[in-house]
Structure 1
Amino acid sequence: MGTVSWPGGVEARPIDKSDTAAWAELLAAKEKVDQEGENYDADDLLEELSDPKLNAARDTIGLWSDGQMVGYGTVNTPSDVVDVHRIRTEAVTRPDWRGRGLGSALLTWVIRRAGELHAELRPDVAGEINTSAISTNTGADALLKSFGFEECRYFFHMHRPLDTPVPEVPVPDGLRLVPFDASMNETLRVIHNEVFLDHWGSVPKDPDSWRVWFTGSRAFRGGSSYLLLDGDQIVAYVLGYEYVADTEATGVRELYVGQVGTRRSHRGRGLARIVLARVMAEAAKAGYQRVSLGVDADNPTGALGLYERLGFAVVTKTITYRLPL
């Protein structure tokens, strides 16, 4: 799309590890206005930059004015391709800088960079850009659609307070419910890849991606994660995470359920409910005040109904937009 023209007085350069405090401050300002329920500290953002598949020098851009980060863009490629080469992007402008052309310039940059990556990495398959915004952000919706993006998927963020009892769900004879153990990490990765093959946008996770974003994340809580075993085989699992920045911002200690999975061979038996109920009960004992999770509105396994029956309620809706490459 040619050279990007940045608004006057703005310096554009790749995001560096030394920028994470300013990046976190920008995101805190964004959260106050957009109310997406997401909070980050500098260490969270250092972890994002540690993704071995992110070339920060080429795939990130930070916009600066008088030493303050006023906007940023990132482009993330998937670790694999199942059907479509979906490239995830973010383009964020500090709220008090909106309306000055930064959003359009950032979108121009991420679209151009995503197109370059698609041409370099997977020109043999269809490609598209994906980006997301909370449904109440009408400004983002209008800007994205002006660039040709269209709505393609909807995700609900759900909360379940732990001040009411968690139902006891018995474990069937022949099955065992055990806490996560690092010795089963690689087996779990392989099973997770199998479980999520029929989930929209999911691609198999290689060991590096699994380490950075899943069981190697600083937010991962192995003691609040459980596996259901049939013999020595993992047949269902729930992985829990705790984000320190969220607790500091909200005053609520929350366990985020990042992954819930059941193997195809064992679906239809209520096994995810068993594991999730245990995770919730143990979270309450550990002092968590709330459990939260995100779910695809069109999840093929009927997960939304499962969560509602366990007392979860929708608090926000996020829209994923697509732009074909």
Structure 2
Amino acid sequence: MGRGWTESAATSDDVDDLAALLARHEEAARGWSSSGRDAVATDVVGAGAAARRHLVARDREGEVRAWGTVHDRAAGRVIVSVVVDPTLAAAQASALAQRLFDWAEHAAVAVARERGLAVTQLDSGCFADDPRQQEWLRASGFRPMRSWWQMTRPVDPAEGSEGAFAPPAPGVVIRRVRGADAADGALPDADDLRTVHDVLEASFTDHFNSHEERFEEFVARLRADPGHRWDHWWIAELTRDDGPDGASVEPVGALVSSVLGAGSSGHEGSYVEYLGVLAGARGRGVASSLLHTVVADAARRGRDRVGLEVDADNPTGAARLYLAAGFVTRYVTQSWHRDVPVDAALDVSP
């Protein structure tokens, strides 16, 4: 890295500097910053820290200049983030990026070994209009795999009124998970939480890069998000009358959302973390009804927008649904992947 530079694991003392570094990166690569200090603190020392490993690089004056993160996202998949100060000279920035990607490979393989795996996927990303990051990813052996539309929709206060949206189709009911108003630290109805997990797992099996995530990992990861709220979880149920035993009620869809921090208007927003519908129930308007539910909920809470991410090549036509519902693409991100055999990893530990 150069004489006088240091590298170390991240601590609570680094949170402010890391948040400032991330803001500089986002402003240079996308045009504005949206990440907050709370999210950084969660990943470094909060509820999300246990699943993450960090490496922080400081220059000879002690300023944070680069930050690497490896997130154990699911068995066989780690999320790799490399953030380098955009004010550095190109050659120095590239050298730092290479160092952090090499470290990330080593850290990801260590995670895979702990899970007893022979190979793991390194999943990194960048803004679509960030050629610098794309160059570093390519140089580190990653390949571009997918584009993701980061979409948003304004919320009208009137959309919180009864009758603002068409009701669900006959037989379809949208409800919150039971016990969503549980006291801090308490869990809602365990069966409902498992239902949400199971429906989403089944819904996404035909989606790009789907990796099975255990129920405990799923709940812990979402609870770690600073915007997590149990009363932002919904289940879609379908009543069928054609079964051998008469009417039956079965879960066919689920939506999990979270709170977006206040934007330029001063109002918070809602963010759709997951929206999934079982293949056998698609075409009944279930996804639209779930989407209407989160928009109406946002309106009643005084929020001004709903955001979400969608695979530009989603096989279920989700992008068309969101466009029809008034969502527009604000910016685009990319997924870059690299598969690494566990026995082939470099030894680049600090």
Of 54, 70, 79, which aligns to 1:75?
Answer: 70
1:19-30 aligned within 5 A:
19-30=14-25
Aligned partner of 2:78 in structure 1 is: 87
Q: Does 1:174 align with 2:165?
A: no
Of 82, 88, 97, which aligns to 2:88?
Answer: 97
Structure possessing the higher radius of gyration over alpha carbons: 2
Counterpart CA distance in 1 for 2:260 and 2:174 is 25
Q: Does 1:307 align with 2:322?
A: yes
Of 250, 257, 261, which aligns to 1:240?
Answer: 257
Paired residue type of 1:313: V
Task: Quote the offset at 1:165 in angstroms.
Answer: 6.5
Aligned partner of 1:161 in structure 2 is: 154
1:209-244 CA distance string (max 9 Å, x none):
222322563312333443222355322122211133
Task: Quote the offset at 1:259 in angstroms.
Answer: 0.6
TM-score by length of 1: 0.85
1:245-264 CA distance string (max 9 Å, x none):
xx267745221111101122
Q: Structure 1 residues 250 and 110, CA, compared in 2 at 3 Å: closer, same or farther?
A: farther
Of 194, 203, 210, which aligns to 2:218?
Answer: 210
Q: Which consecutive unaligned segments of at least 5 residues does structure 1 have?
A: 1-5
1:131·1:320 contact (CA, 8 Å) conserved in 2?
A: yes
Q: Structure 1 residues 169 and 67, CA, compared in 2 at 3 Å: closer, same or farther?
A: farther
Q: Does 1:254 align with 2:262?
A: no
Of 39, 45, 52, which aligns to 1:44?
Answer: 39
Of 102, 111, 125, which aligns to 2:105?
Answer: 111
**Root mean square deviation of aligned Cα:** 2.5
Aligned partner of 2:185 in structure 1 is: none
1:189-228 aligned within 5 A:
189-215=197-223, 217-228=225-236
Counterpart CA distance in 1 for 2:69 and 2:264 is 24
Q: Does 1:230 align with 2:238?
A: yes
Counterpart CA distance in 2 for 1:302 and 1:314 is 15
Paired residue type of 1:29: R
TM-score by length of 2: 0.80
1:139-189 CA distance string (max 9 Å, x none):
111222122322111111011112497561321222322123321222222
Task: Quote the offset at 1:67 in angstroms.
Answer: 3.8
Identical residues among aligned pairs (%): 22
Counterpart CA distance in 1 for 2:208 and 2:146 is 9
Paired residue type of 1:46: A
Q: Structure 1 residues 321 and 89, CA, compared in 2 at 3 Å: closer, same or farther?
A: same
Task: Quote the offset at 1:104 in angstroms.
Answer: 2.1
Q: Does 1:289 align with 2:280?
A: no
Q: Structure 1 residues 79 and 177, CA, compared in 2 at 3 Å: closer, same or farther?
A: same
Q: Structure 1 residues 201 and 74, CA, compared in 2 at 3 Å: closer, same or farther?
A: same
Aligned residues: 310
